[in-house]
């Protein structure tokens, strides 16, 4: 994942002249701004990314030493989804981060389940095509079944998984009313009010909530990897690291509580005299 210093790159001719690269360029500038002006949030995301790199390195190093490496590869997929989610919220693409965050949670939960039940790997690979057999397969591998299985070792972890999964569904990973207006911004002018599109969110309640969600998904992936692979946990201290990430997140939430409160109050304030 090495890369040259960004100063070595030059913007190619025509970059920003079409709608797609214009949007990409605006997102990249937001990422630079997040790096400079939101170091606390950025450091929290980066610390989790570092732990997930350790998880992926452990998974790939043992790929040829197990009968089926699917469990480890699912955790690597969760790592990938976390990185995508972190970049989305850093660039201001809050709505989409809930979809990739959901994928990270699901991939980690499946990875944990298969790591603890190697005999289930082949059943998972052999997804049936007939309706009757598919129903039986779903009874084992649907999200609710796996989260219930997680409750056998930790009620808190199971509840956490369900809450994040539902949050993702509510706020962008599935068509729901809570996410319906998140890409719109109400502006007031001398002529009245108007709606504008806002695909890149500024640092307000919506973006802070999305970033908090992404951090939690990363903590969840790290925690489940540590539970699935005790040797990796003993060597890297993954479960304890997740607890440290939780402490850092609580501090950030407290620090930005007034920002969120002011933004929410501003959104709900009446617009006197505006039709």
**Residue 247 placed within a domain:** yes
Total domains in the fold of the chain: 1
**Residue 4 pLDDT:** 58
Phi/psi at 186 (5° precision): -90, 125
**Residue 189 pLDDT:** 79
**Residue 249 placed within a domain:** yes
**Residue 264 pLDDT:** 74
**Residue 5 pLDDT:** 64
**Owning domain of residue 208:** 27-267
pTM of the model: 0.91
**Residue 193 placed within a domain:** yes
**Residue 109 placed within a domain:** yes
How far is the C-alpha of 48 from the C-alpha of 66, rounded, in Å?
26
**Residue 262 placed within a domain:** yes
**Residue 70 placed within a domain:** yes
How far is the C-alpha of 83 from the C-alpha of 52, rounded, in Å?
9
**Residue 195 pLDDT:** 83
- What angle separates helix 205-228 from helix 155-168, to the nearest 10 degrees? 140
**Residue 253 pLDDT:** 95
How far is the C-alpha of 234 from the C-alpha of 54, rounded, in Å?
12
**Residue 18 placed within a domain:** no
User: What is the separation of C-alpha 74 from the centre of its chain, rounded to a whole number of angstroms?
Assistant: 15
**Residue 188 pLDDT:** 81
**Residue 2 pLDDT:** 55
**Residue 139 placed within a domain:** yes
**Residue 8 pLDDT:** 66
DSSP 199: S
Residue ranges, the chain, pLDDT below 70? 1-8, 266-275
């Amino acid at each position: 994942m090495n890369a040259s210093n960004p100063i070595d790159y030059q913007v190619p001719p025509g970059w920003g002249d079409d709608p797609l690269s214009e949007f990409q360029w605006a997102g990249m500038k937001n990422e630079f701004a997040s790096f400079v002006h939101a170091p606390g949030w950025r450091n929290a995301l980066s610390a989790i990314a570092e732990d997930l790199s350790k998880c992926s390195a452990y998974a790939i190093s043992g790929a040829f030493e197990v009968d089926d490496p699917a469990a480890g590869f699912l955790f690597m997929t969760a790592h990938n989804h976390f990185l995508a989610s972190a970049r989305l919220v850093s660039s201001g693409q809050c709505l989409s981060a809930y979809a990739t965050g959901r994928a990270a949670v699901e991939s980690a939960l499946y990875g944990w389940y298969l790591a603890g039940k190697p005999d289930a790997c082949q059943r998972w690979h052999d997804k049936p095509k007939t309706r009757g057999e598919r129903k039986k397969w779903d009874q084992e591998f649907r999200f609710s079944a796996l989260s219930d299985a997680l409750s056998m070792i930790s009620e808190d972890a199971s509840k956490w998984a369900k809450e994040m999964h539902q949050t993702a569904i509510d706020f962008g990973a599935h068509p729901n009313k809570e996410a319906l207006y998140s890409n719109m911004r109400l502006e007031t002018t001398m002529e009245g009010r108007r709606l504008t599109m806002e695909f890149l969110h500024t640092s307000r309640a919506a973006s802070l909530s999305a970033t908090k969600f992404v951090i939690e998904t990363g903590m969840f992936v790290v925690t489940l990897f540590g539970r699935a692979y005790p040797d990796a946990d003993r060597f890297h201290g993954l479960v304890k690291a997740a607890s440290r990430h939780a402490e850092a997140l609580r501090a950030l939430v407290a620090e930005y509580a007034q920002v969120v409160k002011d933004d929410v109050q501003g959104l709900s304030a009446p617009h006197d005299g505006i039709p």
